[in-house]
Amino acid sequence: MLLAGELLTAQRVNRLQPRPSNAVGTSNLSLSTTETDLTGASITATTETAGAYYVATANFAFDISSATTAFALGVCQLDGVSLLGNARWSGEVGTDFGEASYQWRGPVGAAGSHTWKLRGSQSVGTGIVMTAAFTTLIVTIYEDV
């Protein structure tokens, strides 16, 4: 927010512009019941002001490697804390492939460096793979002047 008499500097104008970043997984992840990071699907960004706002959108791609009745979960963490909500996908036979998307948004908190990363698991057993090349994360940061 600008108050009467304040100067609009180049630095403040730069903060007005949304700053998008994107990442794509680099190694497939065989899911288990333990939530695990997807290699390569992480973004680290620096905010200049406290209370910056983010929108994180993820598209998760899942492939069944062996018949299962489990469902897959795609989650996002911000600074090591899982965000509320997740993408869920279910298939049945070894030829099933599908995608699920989810969007998270909220305040970042303190100014400084922050990391968003995608993680995955499945409800029971094994048999689902998160396909890295088709799993993407986009984070856009909005800051006040």
What one-letter code names the amino acid at 12?
R
Q: What is the pLDDT of residues 21-38, one digit of tens each?
A: 999 999 999 999 999 999
Does pLDDT of 14 surpass 70? no
CA distance 110 to 27: 32
Does pLDDT of 91 surpass 60? yes
pLDDT of residue 66: 86
Determine what percent of the chain is predicted with pLDDT higher than 70.
88
Summarize the confidence of residues 50-71 as an average pLDDT. 93
CA distance 40 to 38: 6
pLDDT of residue 2: 55
Q: Which domains does the chain have, with CATH numbers?
A: 19-142 (2.60.120.40)
Does pLDDT of 82 surpass 80? yes
Return all residues near 105 (Cβ < 8 A) that are at least 6 apart.
Answer: 53, 54, 55, 56
Q: What sign does the dihedral 23-27-28-32 (CA atoms) show?
A: negative
CA distance 39 to 56: 17
**Whole-model pTM above 0.75?**
yes
Q: Using pLDDT thresholds of 50, 70 and 90, give the confidence band for residue 144.
A: confident
* 3-state SS track over the chain: CCCCCCCCCHHHHHHHCCEEEEEECCCCEECCCCCEEEEEEEEEEEECCCCEEEEEEEEEEEEECCCCCCEEEEEEEECCEECCCCEEEECCCCCCEEEEEEEEEEEEECCEEEEEEEEEEECCCCCEEECHHHCEEEEEEECCC
Question: Where does residue 121 rank: exposed (0-12), middle (13-18), buried (19+ CB within 10 A)?
Answer: buried
Q: Which residue has the higher pLDDT, 100 or 8?
A: 100
Q: Using pLDDT thresholds of 50, 70 and 90, give the confidence band for residue 51.
A: confident
